[in-house]
Structure formats: structure tokens, C-alpha cells
A and B are shown apart, each in its own frame.
Chain A
């Protein structure tokens, strides 16, 4: 089995315009992956499936990952010479910037014919709001059909060229994509007659008028008389 680096080198020869990167994996599993450019993804996937020495005929697992916008602090150190002739000072300048997030789709490929794998492919969307389209790999591997629908359903990635892109686990009229990290539950939580703790906090948020019953409102049934 060739390493991800070797496959990348062969892909760069075959697809000269494509910008293919290696995504490192520091964990003991050492499953490194290939980050593909979206415009070339389907051609590359087809090549990986048909190339005789690889024959990645089975796409085992397809899933999405949400990477929200992240605040990154850049520290720049500059050495400033002391005008009085003393030792030079090191001045740290910190700047905050927002690293834009993206949605990522991961494909785990195996070869049933040659019994090797995995080769891991990753695709990234431009952002998390309006540029969420990626090419569908269902025309290459049929196993992506339901799994890409699931990624669309739960993450909101739109797969161009998918034969039947509908919600699959949530119902058709559902709003939002629940696997996104910033997803907020809708206003239909289970109401409790005596809310407390976390539920009470939620109840206050959803129904600001909620208050414990006043003592005067407490009705004693049966007029307080002993039961017959």
C-alpha cells in the first residue's frame, strides 16, 4: 500500500493544476489524509477508483466535520534598541484575528479487490454560510448516496450532482443543521410542572412570565374536609 505522500505525488503528476495537501495526524493511528481541491475532486476520486495499482473500489465511510470560526492571537516580537544605549528590549505585539471556519467532508476509501486502505480524502467548503457547495462523489461510489444525504441533513453541506439530495434523518420541514457546533435547540423542550435547575433556566428563557404559584392560588380540594 502506498503512503498518502506517494499517492499525492502521483496525483500531482496526473492532475497538474490541482493543489493537493497532506493533512497530518499526530495520533498513534497515523492515518494521514489528502485535502483535495473541490473542482478536481470528482476526477481525482474516479481516478483513485479505476487506477489499477490502487483500485479503491469501496468508499466505506463519509462524514462531515464542523470547524467554526476561531479567534487566533498572533504574537509578533520585535527587538527595539534602547536609544539611551542600554540593552535592547523585546516588545511583544499581540493582534487578534478571526480564522474563518469551514465545513469539512471526510471520505474513507478501501480497496476490496486489493484488500488495502484506508486512503482518506477531505474536502472543505469556502465558509459555513453561503459557500457550502461541494461536488458529490455519489457518481463514483454509490455508498456515498445516503451518507452524503446525512451530511447535508446534519451539517448543511450542499452536494452538487447528488441524485436525490433530501433530508434523511430529520423530517423535511426541519430548520437548521443539528450537528453544527453552534446549533441551538428550538423552543420546544419538554415542559416540567415544577421546573428546576437547568430546566428552570430554559423555561425562563422561553417563557419569561413563568413564576412559582402564589400561596393564594393554591386551591385545597374537597374543602379541606376529611374524606368520607
Chain B
């Protein structure tokens, strides 16, 4: 019986090491030139297509495709727009979405929502894994964050990228202030970088130990950073919420959460999937996590801890699930929320801090049992849409009665795997995002008219999904 997660990890490492031993160094030295010159490599490449198995030949062709399509981020872009080779797009400012290609890409795809057509991609000229995207309040600039700490402003009206703002080390998430003048970049596990977007310069690094997520108040005055005192994410057993005053970019308070199973070095317990979510009214910030204990008997409890913004005090924790929190969304009026796990969606009454009875949802396919439902509130709060990440359905849930409505079935499964739902400005059209279940990782946006519950013509985009923003 595995006694905890660390033992599972150790067993995995041992199993991988044993499996690795089945390939001996001499096995591969016979197949490739160990130290040779160009002639032999070229000969090897030429003869590769004639190797005995048809599979090898097929993969060789695919590698050429990979070279051309999947890994451009590691290749020198021969047509960087800043050199003028990428023609200005002269894009409209409204009814647009911008899809950030998943790493490794160097692609920003404008999508005209009025016509349902993806437009010519914008290459912003940086490689290294795109991890964040944001749009200015007026829709004129899109900011792209790369994992290597470059923040690139892209003028979407001309399709040109500005000089990257160097923000630091490994960068993972991006949030912009409501006035569009500032931004914060999460650099786990060390802290956050403050950025002056107007001056296009980094203001400085704010150290937060174990930083793993952040949330900004709607007024932009306070940034909450979720961190930990533990040295590694896997062994986290405590959570610390740090409030940063965005006027001074200094930490003004730290709160070590005391929720269930949150004690430093508590034997057998690990905290996973921790995240921080701000209520739309800005009055409460919620920290969610799953406490996992693999000792006998196996236990996994998911909790949400409300923290009052005004007083910085921790309220009574809400026990929401026994199998983790895959998604947590809060209603526009901040009065309620929903969490999803692998089996169901659970409504939360945030006024009383109680979890209600889970809503069983149909799942069309069960080959990915650990997948979950992505949750998206309609802007009026009347419906929350549960996107089945393992199947092909979108289930509207009436938030007044907490009952599932007739599912909206999308075509394409299993070639297209659903990811998430996001509302375009105006609140009438829900775009369901999915990715191609193959090496292309192409993105599909399916517009759903929420008034009728009908799906429109899919918009297929030849890029991975690194993020999406809509013009205001």
C-alpha cells in the first residue's frame, strides 16, 4: 500500500529507471553515428526513409511536418514583422478575438467574429513558450507573455509587435490592472514582477515565497498572491496569502491560512491544486485546495477558504468535494459559486459558506475519467455552462434551481476535445474552445447562441491554444 504521494513518486521513478534499463547504450550506438561528420549524418538522413519499417518512414514525414509547424518557436523566424516582412493587417478593433498559439508557436491569430474567419497570423518574434495574454481596455494592444519573461506589446491594428519588456525569469501568468496602465507577472515559485505598461518597463520584483497563483481586486488596488512556506509544490502543507498594495508594489500583509489539513509538515498530508480566486465584487478572495492523504485509508478533501478583503480575516472553510476541485467559478453577483470535480458539479452558497447537493451531469464518454467540467457563468448569472472536457457536450445549469438543462451536443469528438467556454462581449454568444486530438493541436471555436442553445459554424484555427482575449 503506498503510504503517501512521495512513495508513489518514488515508485514511479524506480519504475521509469527499470524501464529505461531495457534500452542499453549499445542498443542505440549501432543505429546512429556517435561522432561523425556532415556526410555521414546526411547519408543517415537520406537513408532514413528507406528503413525497413513503414512506420519509421511515416514518422520521418511527420517530423518534417513538425519542423514546419510544431516547433517554430525554436527556429529562427525568417519573417519577423519588425523587419517589415509581415504586412500590416489593418484589423478592425471590434468583434475580434485573439488566439495565442500554444507553445512552441510564436503565433497570435486574429479572428473576425463577425465573419467567423481567422485572419493572417501575427508573429511577435519571440520563442520560448507563450504563457499569458491580455488586452488593453481600448482593444488596441494585445500583450503576450512568454515563459522566459518577455512581455510583448502587439499593436493589433497594424499587426506589429513592440519592443519586448523584460520582466524576469520563468514567467507563467499575466494580469493587467483595470486601467490598463499596469500589469503583474507571476514568476513561480519566487514572486511577482510589477510592470508599467504605459512606460513599457518593469518596475521591480516582489518576492513571495512559493508563489503559485494570484488574483487582483476589481479596483486594481490590491494583488493577492498565494504562496507557501514549503520548499516544493508537491510537499506543500501550508498556504500563505500575501496582499500587495499596487500603489507601492509592497506587501502590506501576509496571512498564513489555518484551514483543514493546512499545517506545516503535517505528516501524510499534501496540498494540491491550490488556487486563488477573487469575487467579482472584490469583497472576498477565495483560496481553494485539495488536501490529499494517501495513508490508510486514502483521503482527499477539497476545501475553499474565504478571506475577507477589508479585514484580511479568514472565514469558515467550505468542504466542497472529496475528489478535488478542478474548476471553481463565482457568480457575477458574488453570492454563489460552482465547483467541478471528475464526477459532478457542486453549487456553493457563498453567503452561508455551504456546499449544496452535487448536480449529476451526463458524460458521453468515459475514456478520460479524470477529466472534468470547465465552468463558465453567463454574464447575467442565470446560467452556468459546464463544458465536458472528456466528451462532446455543454450542459447549461439553471442557477435558480440548480438543475441541468438539455445538453448541447457538439460534433467532432474524439477528434476535437473540449477545453473551455468563454463569453464574447455582449454576453449572448458562448464560444466553446476545443483542441485537435492529434499532433497539430489546432484550436476550434464553436459559437453557441445561448438564447436558442444552438451551435454555429465552427471556426478552426491552425494553432495551439495558449490563451484567448476578446476586443471590448
Do A and B come together as binding partners?
no
Name A residues whose Cβ lies closer than 8 Å to a Cβ of B: none
